[in-house]
Structure 1
Amino acid sequence: MSNTIIKTNFNFPGQKSVYKGKVRDVYSLENDRLVMIASDRLSAFDVVMPKGIPYKGQILNQIATKMMGKTSDIVSNWLEATPDPNVAIGKKCEPFKVEMVIRGYMSGHAAREYKAGKRQLCGVALPEGMKENDKFPEPIITPATKAEHGDHDEDISKEDIIKKGIVTEADYKKLEEYTRNLFERGTEIAAKQDLILVDTKYEFGKTPEGEIVLIDEIHTPDSSRYFYKKGYVERQEKGEAQKQLSKEFVRQWLISHGFQGQEGQKVPEMSDEYIESVSERYIELYENITGEKFKKADVSNIEQRIKKNVEDYLHKH
């Protein structure tokens, strides 16, 4: 097994505080700067799995960096530099407490709710007579409130977001506009790779100057679901499962082993072989999404590598 990074404990120059999320650890520095480290932790059903996935952090960080570059004409983003394969450095923003989830197809959570008989999701009416993985007449936005420290994110309607004062009406209008435009761009990027961008989530923040910017990750297999375009129509017509490029394969494996993150359920043991296969799937995701060969970083001492690369960068900038 390759080395993985599942915990970080850095002390960078000018460091003020650390926030540890499900997958990323965010170090706040002086001058409103953030160092975000994409760990190799794997989270599913809002639960962090006990073992790390080799190269996963590098894959997520590098896809997000590429996608930020390809969408910066639509909305500015927080990113300043990526001095290490697992690290992004950028400007500190005040995050909006909602995730903007947009769905082009009836898949995942939406399909599970639909199967349970619900015909409304986050205040959005769902058409009758749809099958799992059918395309919506047009993409729908189904926001979720961001969970504090490991609780489940919860569906919420646009009306409730505005009524509860989570986001102002003017800001929410901007978030919706950016979300639709980013999804359209993501769909075009995916199509060039013979993929379908099924659904995704975007997170936004506000700079101290009041500008809305894109933060966190974008169009990665952790935040998005992709299908292979080839054979999509045939599979739908035959009622077969779609060929996916996303973390869904891990969720399905967990479900088949009796785990959905519910009270009293125990995370099934993941063998080294299974972990290795997940790592290989993530590399496949990277290569399919970006159209580029994945170059494995040196993982002989990831902590030391990150520390050196970040400190060198901060020293020069």
Structure 2
Amino acid sequence: MPHDEAPLLEVQDLEVHFPIRAGVFKRQVGAVKAVDGVSFTLKRGETLSLVGESGCGKSTTGLALMGLVKPTGGRVRFEGKEIEGFRRAAVKQYRRRMQIVFQDPFSSLNPRHKVRDIIRAPLDVHHIGTPAEREQAVAELMQRVGLRPDQADNYAHQFSGGQRQRIGIARALALKPDVIVCDEPVSALDVSVQAQILNLLMDLQRDLGISYLSVSHDLGVVEHISTRVAVMYLGRIVEIGEKTQLFEKPLHPYTELLMRSAPSLDPRHRHAFSTSSDDIPSATNRPSGCAFHKRCPLATDLCRTDDPPLTRREAAEHRVACHHR
């Protein structure tokens, strides 16, 4: 993929803060800074994975891009056009081109609807095609994701977890989107079917040129499907780069912690990295300076007072927010 290609999606200083209210009059006394100044780009046909501990803001970032939560600040551009300035018709068009696959393949499907109704719903909402064409599209989508069209009259509870996720993927594909947000798409599935779903997503990307924003805490999944990886900590990206660069030579101490924490059969890699404290700071009271300094063995006085910017390092695509790397 050429590096000078214009990005399909540009995110600049995205913020999502949830107010904390207390007292009789429910006045705001603070805020949960779930996403606190996130910037990245997504090119056509690539997969950018957001990875980090639970509560780091990765899922909220994806939901904000979908319009399912309202950003507090920042800018999002799609094909160079700022979404905030879109008129109503343009917003609807944008939503056609941005779809999502949810984490839980059961709760994300309406148990009262047949599979044909679930997959056809986006076509109905956007008034695409005639009724006969929509039925034909449902059959084609089911075949594309590995389901039999004669199962279209079944309900979600009649399918296995992996099949339900295929239904969710078919629904996301119905509008022929350019970008799909994959929010932990295999974490609720048996290990035996996770690879099947991941390979399906990769095959669809190869055939259709879809871009994925993948949200995951599983480094095995991230390494399997990613083009680039962004590591998030307490609402901010602390390291971003090409997958190979980041896995072979992680620069941020937190990224190294994640890598070392992954299960390994090699005893030399077990617990090879430890933090100075296991006390994880809260997003409601972000520490001064580098947010990771209380857990970082490399921390100095500079880390406690100055928040390091995301700075380009050795490779053109590799950036890290650390004073010592």
Fold similarity call, TM over 0.5: no
Q: Normalization by structure 1: what TM-score? A: 0.25
